């Protein structure tokens, strides 16, 4: 098993190129199930979750050719519709095949999902919506068995809470349904927006893209001819490297980025004293000599993202004063706190709120990654800790970051991947 060894340094400098967004890529790969043609996808990141989902499609009978220059997926050869536990257990986003498989084939079996242990992320909202569309759903031996022999039917769906994966799943299910489906309280994340935009450009009329009310006009079972597309940049990867610049008090430029997707992150970094030079596709962070404390509440887009909470918590350990970080989306998303405490951070937890007393002098030690974003927080802490920090269980990190240690090394970080 691999681990990362990081040595604390004074500063970084240079440019980091941002990869395609993992959280956009996964629903877009699942979307290819709706296509009658071979689909060409550009800018997929080189991360484990992408390979896992492509393997799942291959096991269903699809033909997948994954290349960094461009990936092709042909789902016309799918010959069975059971997504088995051995793959789904490793990645919660596997549930994204449920909607498209059901709407195309009228039946499917999908194992209940796994993924990061950051809290309860039930799929009942997905299942309730599919039942409203006429599907029959049963849970048997850990599998969701769904049938809709006469196809799904458009209807009015109101999500009790905002769900990114649920919105994507139902948008795809509605794409081939009979009639019109309206989703109220839909997620507005850029990753959902791109899914809707691509469907809208390829034969599925969707009204309200980017708003909380989506109306999808189904094709009544007619498969789509999906043109080549390029995945949007990863805003969470971009935010992580901006935090690397902030915590090491370094001027860094991130390239191939979409700045408007990072408004809430940039606003909090500005509150902490940083400034920026921004173009259409680059952001240069100009650090502050004295990091100011901050108050953060994680909420759905366009508010501050839960996927940036851990990185900012690491950054807050270096602020002069008390920072308050409230996690409103996942109840177990502070598991990195105990690892940061091992490094010397002064953090107290009260329910879903972390109080960070800065500035802490961090010392390198052995720490353990507990989920994807917690992994990157420990890397950030390792960049400024005295001595060496060994970050174990980085298979979590590899699920969502494309060549993280290589990108950090090219801007001067002392970090390497080793085997246990």
Indicate whether 94 pLDDT > 90: no
Indicate whether 121 pLDDT > 70: no
> Which pLDDT value is given to residue 172?
98
Alpha carbon distance 375, 392 (integer Å): 9
pLDDT mean over 345-370: 95
Do 407 and 4 meet the contact criterion of CB atoms below 8 Å apart?
Answer: no
pLDDT mean over 198-212: 98
pLDDT mean over 330-358: 91
> Which pLDDT value is given to residue 332?
67
> Which pLDDT value is given to residue 363?
97
> Which pLDDT value is given to residue 218?
98
Q: Which residues pair with 324 in a beta bridge?
A: 295, 355
Indicate whether 306 pLDDT > 70: yes
Q: The tokens 């461009």 sit on which residue?
A: 70
pLDDT tens track for 219-265: 999 999 999 999 999 999 999 999 999 999 999 999 999 999 999 99
Indicate whether 372 pLDDT > 90: no
Exposed e or buried b per residue across 133-149, where buried means at least 16 C-beta atoms within 10 angstroms of its C-beta: bbbebeeeeebbebbbe
Pairing relationship of beta strands 282-286 and 275-278 according to DSSP bridges: antiparallel
What are the C-alpha distances in Å from 118 to residues 244, 293, 310?
A: 23, 25, 12
pLDDT mean over 170-174: 98
> Which pLDDT value is given to residue 251?
98
> Which pLDDT value is given to residue 120?
44
Q: Please identify which of the residues 116, 196, 243, 274 carries the catalytic annotation.
A: 116
Compute the half-sphere exposure of residue 336: CA atoms within 13 Å on the CB side of its CA.
Answer: 30
What are the C-alpha distances in Å from 179 to residues 103, 137, 200, 342, 362?
A: 13, 21, 15, 56, 58
> Which pLDDT value is given to residue 116?
36
> Which pLDDT value is given to residue 118?
32
Which tokens go with 360?
């802490």
Q: Which of 119, 140, 177 is nearest to 330 (CA)?
A: 119
In the β-sheet with 39-42, what is the strand arrangement from edge to edge? 63-65, 71-74, 39-42, 229-230
Give the E-state strand segments of 256-392 in sequence order.
Answer: 275-278, 282-286, 295-298, 321-327, 346-350, 353-358, 366-368, 388-392
Do 343 and 390 meet the contact criterion of CB atoms below 8 Å apart?
Answer: no
Cis omega (within 30 of 0) for bond into 304: no
Q: What is the CA radius of gyration of the chain?
A: 21
> Which pLDDT value is given to residue 373?
81
pLDDT tens track for 44-57: 999 999 999 999 99
> Which pLDDT value is given to residue 331?
67
Active site residue 155: no
Alpha carbon distance 134, 153 (integer Å): 6
Compute the half-sphere exposure of residue 375: CA atoms within 13 Å on the CB side of its CA.
Answer: 23
Indicate whether 176 pLDDT > 70: yes
> Which pLDDT value is given to residue 115?
40
pLDDT mean over 405-418: 97
Confidence of residue 89 (pLDDT cuts 50, 70, 90): confident
pLDDT mean over 134-143: 91
């Amino acid at each position: 098993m691999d681990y990362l060894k990081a040595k604390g340094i004074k500063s970084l400098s240079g440019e980091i190129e941002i990869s395609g967004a993992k959280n956009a890529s996964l629903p877009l790969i699942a979307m290819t199930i709706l296509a009658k043609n071979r689909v060409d996808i550009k800018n997929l990141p080189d991360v484990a979750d992408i390979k896992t989902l492509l393997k799942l499609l291959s096991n269903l009978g699809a033909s997948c050719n994954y290349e960094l220059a461009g990936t092709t997926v042909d789902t016309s050869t799918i010959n069975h519709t059971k997504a088995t536990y051995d793959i789904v257990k490793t990645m919660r986003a596997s549930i994204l095949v449920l909607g498209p498989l059901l709407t195309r084939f009228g039946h499917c079996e999908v194992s209940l999902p796994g993924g990061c242990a950051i809290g309860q992320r039930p799929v009942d909202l997905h299942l309730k919506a599919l039942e409203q569309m006429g599907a029959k759903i049963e849970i048997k031996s850990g599998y969701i068995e769904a049938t809709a022999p006469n196809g799904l039917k458009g209807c009015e769906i109101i999500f009790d809470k905002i769900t990114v994966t649920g919105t994507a799943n139902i948008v795809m299910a509605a794409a081939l349904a009979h009639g019109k489906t309206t989703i109220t309280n839909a997620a507005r994340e850029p990753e959902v927006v791109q899914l809707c935009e691509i469907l809208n450009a390829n034969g599925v009329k969707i009204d309200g893209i980017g708003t909380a009310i989506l109306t999808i006009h189904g094709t009544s079972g007619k498969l789509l001819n999906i043109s080549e597309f390029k995945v949007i940049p990863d805003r969470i990867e971009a935010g992580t490297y901006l935090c690397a610049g902030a915590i090491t008090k370094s001027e860094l430029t991130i390239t191939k980025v979409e700045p408007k997707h990072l408004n809430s992150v940039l606003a909090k970094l500005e509150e902490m004293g940083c400034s920026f030079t921004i173009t259409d596709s680059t952001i240069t962070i100009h650090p502050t000599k004295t990091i100011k404390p901050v108050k953060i509440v994680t909420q759905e887009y366009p508010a501050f993202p839960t996927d940036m909470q851990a990185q900012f918590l690491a950054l807050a350990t270096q602020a002069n004063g008390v920072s308050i970080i409230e996690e409103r989306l996942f109840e177990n998303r502070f598991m990195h706190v105990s690892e940061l405490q091992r490094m010397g951070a002064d953090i107290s937890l009260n329910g879903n709120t972390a109080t960070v007393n800065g500035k802490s002098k961090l010392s390198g030690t052995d720490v353990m990654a507990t989920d994807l974003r917690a992994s990157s927080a420990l890397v950030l802490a390792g960049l400024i800790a005295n001595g060496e920090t060994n970050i174990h269980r980085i298979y979590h990190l590899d699920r969502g970051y494309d060549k993280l240690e290589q990108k950090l090394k090219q801007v001067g970080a002392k970090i390497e991947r080793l085997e246990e």
